[in-house]
Amino acid sequence: PELIARHGMPARPQDLGRMPCIIDTNGRWLTNWPFKGDSGDTVTVSVSGPIEVNSPMAARAAAVAGLGFSVLPDFIAAPDIESGRLVTVLDDRILPGGGIFAVYPHRRYLPAKVRVFVDFLVQWFKSIDNG
């Protein structure tokens, strides 16, 4: 909220290109954030800011401290949104579906227990998505 008082509320994704943003170097998009454009297409906005972090928890803490705008997973931002420490912006421009990824070392012969676990996760998340 204090950040918005200083820099204004972004009305369009492109506004973030002129505002301080928090870059999560472990994030999927780094400094090129995707949004829904004016005509519904996908646009990428090049952002920069005063701080780079390497975790969404650090990005959340920096956003709460008012250092910049940030792209955060819902489950990390939710408590601060509920308390009013953070506010959402550009809600109608957020692209659907962030994805969940299983990360494991690349190996020519993947251990069976890893393959079984990944297959289980795929089926489990499909069952949740279908209700």
Q: What is the DSSP string of 25-57?
A: TTSSSTTEEEEE-TTSSEEEEE-EEEEEESSHH
pLDDT at position 45? 97
- Which of 25-46 are b and which e, b meaning 16 or more Cβ less than 10 Å from the residue's Cβ? eebeeebebbbbeeeeeebebe
**47: CATH:** 3.40.190.10
Q: Domain count of the chain?
A: 2
pLDDT at position 11? 95
Do 88 and 115 have their domain in common?
Answer: no
pLDDT at position 53? 96
Domain residue limits at 107: 100-131
Do 65 and 123 have their domain in common?
Answer: no
Do 84 and 106 have their domain in common?
Answer: no
Do 71 and 39 have their domain in common?
Answer: yes
Do 71 and 107 have their domain in common?
Answer: no
pLDDT averaged per 10 residues in sequence order, the chain, 131 residues: 90 96 90 92 95 95 96 92 96 81 75 88 76 56
pLDDT at position 130? 59
